[in-house]
Structure 1
Amino acid sequence: MENSANKMVVRAVVLAVMVAVFSIGSDAQFFGDCRVSVDEIQTCEPAVIRGTKRDPSKTCCSVLAKADLPCLCTYKTSPLIPSNVDIRLAMELPGKCSLKLPSRC
């Protein structure tokens, strides 16, 4: 149990550091610990904007296939997610890309 708590603390610290780095203008590897860059994850943006009914592109699905999905799940409540992104649509992306959504997401 203690190991799990330690992992959560480490993730919280990593997220805080990433938020600090992002806020000073360095966004090149914001999702780097999840094996994807901001530029790569932005290929999925058209499919997650509020009010859209677009399917993810093949490029988006390729990005998600190589990404660490449990890691990306930790960002679903991040204040850095733009307000026009519909988290519900984002959570549907793995299924639309024939990928399995992590059980703890």
Structure 2
Amino acid sequence: MELLRSPKLVPSVILVILFLAFCDVNVMRASAEQKICNITEQELEECKPSVSGSDPPPPSTECCDALKNADLPCLCSYKNSAFLPALGIDPDLAMKLPAKCGMKAPDNC
């Protein structure tokens, strides 16, 4: 505790705290920008109501816009994995989403 009271160490401690805060902000920014099959986590969240639950609503305009930029063959590769259910997404509903957005799903999907 005596070290923290030293006036010589206060600027160093402040610099370390600022550096750690800067790193946290950059990590949060990077994670918010991560993409899966060319669709961001935020865009996935836009579609989540339409691919979960027993009576899902139609996809929103934002969801369909995001889906139009997604790599559909890549997304289809997850249809039999545990990844979608782990995110609370029903794979069967997810595979029907392109048609609900007026898009053609890949043949192997």
Q: TM-score, normalised by structure 1?
A: 0.65
Greater shift, 70-79 or 40-49, is seen at: 70-79
Q: Does 1:86 align with 2:86?
A: no
Deviations 1:21-46 (CA, angstroms, capped at 9, x unpaired): xxxxx854250xx2111111121000
List runs of 5+ in structure 2 lacking aligned partners.
1-29
Please say which structure displays the higher CA radius of gyration: 2
Cα RMSD after superposing both structures: 1.8
Partner of 1:97: 101
Which residue type is aligned with residue 75 of structure 1? Y
Provide the C-alpha distance between the structure 2 equivalents of 1:75 and 1:69, rounded to a whole number of angstroms: 10
Distance 2:41 2:81 in 1: 14
- Consecutive unaligned residues of structure 1, counting only runs of 5 or more, are 1-25
- Give the TM-score taking structure 2 as reference length: 0.63
Q: Which residue of 2 aligns with 1:9?
A: none
When structure 1 is superposed on structure 2, of 77-86 and 63-72 the one drifting more is 77-86
Q: 1:27 to 1:81 in 2, by over 3 A?
A: farther
Residue pairs, 1:1-105, within 5 angstroms: 28=32, 29-31=34-36, 34-82=37-85, 84-105=88-109
Equivalent pairs: percent with the same residue? 44
Deviations 1:7-28 (A, max 9, x none): xxxxxxxxxxxxxxxxxxx854
Offset at 1:82? 3.1
The separation in 1 between residues aligned to 2:40 and 2:56, in whole angstroms, is 24
